[in-house]
Amino acid sequence: MAYGFYVAMTAPTEATMGNLYRVFFYHFPHTILSFVFPYLNLGASLLYLYWRPRNIERANAADAFAVASAELTVLYASVGLATGMLWGRAAWGIWWTWDARLTTYLLLWLSYVSYLLVRRFAAPGQTAIISAALAVFAAADIPICYMSIRWWRTQHPAPVFGGGADSGIDPSMYAAVLWNLAAWAMWGALILGVRYVVERRRQRIAAARALGYLESDLATGTHFHQEAGR
């Protein structure tokens, strides 16, 4: 990440926007990776639904991975939105416009914020199932958002890679783009792993507490029946 910052700061200055364009080296990797983490969330959610009636331990592991990947999606999409707004303010003179790409990306962010709110406030016992269903809905927005700048005429710049003859960046900037993409991908993978471990620990603590409450209730009930039988 340190080297990625270095190459981003030492890449040639862009002719139109000057040094402010360097925000692109953070906007691009966070936006791309915010399209990747939702599919990890979707895959884990589908595995949860598959394993739930078959193996609860595997189902819980899949659910923990789904939670962690949803949190990374919100984090990376938040950075993507913030850096995109900074770029838009300089390029268009406004912080926000209801452009097709921006609107579908905002919907993506709102979908995963909603996912995390469901995890926080849904009724106990239904949280994981409702979240898994929401993950399927949220993931449907990703291809629409990704393809929006290809399907419709938008204010958003053309794709950096594979956008046609008039798209792309100067080859001298490739190193900064790819280094930062790799760095933020590895950082995201690290945080994903840490959050998965933390969520699994939380699940086990919650299960142990529930078992303790059940055993306490059973013991209380047995004692009550013994007293009643005297």
Evaluate whether 30 touches 184 at the Cβ level (below 8 Å): yes
Cα dist from 133 to 55, 57, 68, 71, 130, whole Å: 19, 20, 16, 17, 5
**pLDDT at position 104, please?**
94
Number of independent structural domains in the chain: 1
Nearest CA-CA partner of 61 in 155, 227, 196, 156: 196
**pLDDT at position 166, please?**
57
**pLDDT at position 63, please?**
96
Helix (H, G, I), strand (E, B) or coil at 87: helix
**pLDDT at position 223, please?**
47
Q: Which domain holds residue 136?
A: 2-229
Measured CA to CA, the distance from residue 170 to residue 168 in angstroms comes to 7
pTM of the model: 0.86
Report mean pLDDT in 10-residue bins for the chain, 230 residues: 71 70 88 96 96 94 97 98 90 87 94 94 84 92 90 74 61 84 96 97 88 66 50
**pLDDT at position 9, please?**
72
**pLDDT at position 11, please?**
75
**pLDDT at position 228, please?**
47
